Structures are given as C-alpha cells and as structure tokens.
Chains A and B, each alone.
Chain A
C-alpha cells in the first residue's frame, strides 16, 4: 500500500468553478500535511500546510484535514487558468531511525478550462 495516494488526474475544471483535490495517507502517526504546486518544468512550491483537524483557509485555497479518515483535501475557489499545475500532497512520516521525513503522493494534474 502506498503511503500517500492521490488521483493522478487529469482533473479538468471550468474557470471560476471550485477545484477539489484529494489525498489519503496510511500512517496514523502523521501530524503534518502539505500541499505543493508544481508548474510544468518547475520545482514544487508550498501553497498550504495544515496540522489540525478541520479547515484552514488562505485566500482562494482551503485545506481540509480529517485524521480519523486519514484524508486531506485542497479546495481552490474561483479557479483561474494560472492554477493549472500538478498538485502534490505531502505527509510527514517517521523513518526507520525515528527521524521525520516528508513523503509525497504522485500528484494530481489540474487543468482549468477558460
């Protein structure tokens, strides 16, 4: 079983609509959850992080966390063509020696249709 799972997409959303991206994780001990955005040919950049159950909002972005269901999601409101990118879910997991490391999902490719 993969540690962090995402639907690879592509996910197509009309401009102005809400894009919903989902991620599940297997390690119940994980405490920190991140969403990175990666434009084609570029490096990932952090857009949201969430540590507590519930919702966290930042502008047009909302991260949602449900630890009981081991589920984290990202909502993008009023989607813009500039939101077209691959979105990577990342979760902290524990290494064999007790150090923390960040494990990424395979990413969801999002396309906003004008």
Chain B
C-alpha cells in the first residue's frame, strides 16, 4: 500500500536551518510530483512547495520562496525540504503529499513537527 513517512522535524532557533524528509513506498515514485504542505498549530492547511515527477521543475509559496528548497532522490524514494532562515511563523506540522493531478493530493503522510523558537 502507499505510504509516506516524514522525518527530521524538531526544535530550531530562528535564523537557523533544518531539513525534513519524506520516504515513500508502495508506488512508482518517478511517476508522481510531490508536495510539501504545512499546518501551523490549530490552523488550516498551507501549500508550501512542489517538485515535478522528474525533478526538473519546482515551485514555492511566496511565504517560503528564497528560503526553502525542495528536492528528490529517486534512488532512495525520498523527497526533502531544506529550510533556511527559519522564522517563528514557520512553526508547523509539515506534511508530504503525492500529486494525483495538478495539485490534487491523493496520499499524505502523518507529518513532522517543526518548531522555530529561541
């Protein structure tokens, strides 16, 4: 069955960097684009970034553009989000999600919590 498992969350100080990753299984990874979506504590869902199925295209939300970078490793079936210059308002659970079609997300992980605090 399809599984997405995020890891790498934790507590980090403002201005520092953190990398979160998502390991996937149960489907042909190279057939699908992958996204990161975040959810601040007690808040709704915010799309963050996407990488195309072949890794050739990436797009970001304005709130993270220039600070975050999404990448994928097809040999390990993983997608990662490198987060730099972190701010307090980046605190959230970060979910990876599979792109079924044009930003329609058909499978999600359980998320990893990133807390930015001094």
Q: Do A and B bind each other?
A: no
Q: Which residues of B contact A (CB under 8 A)?
A: none
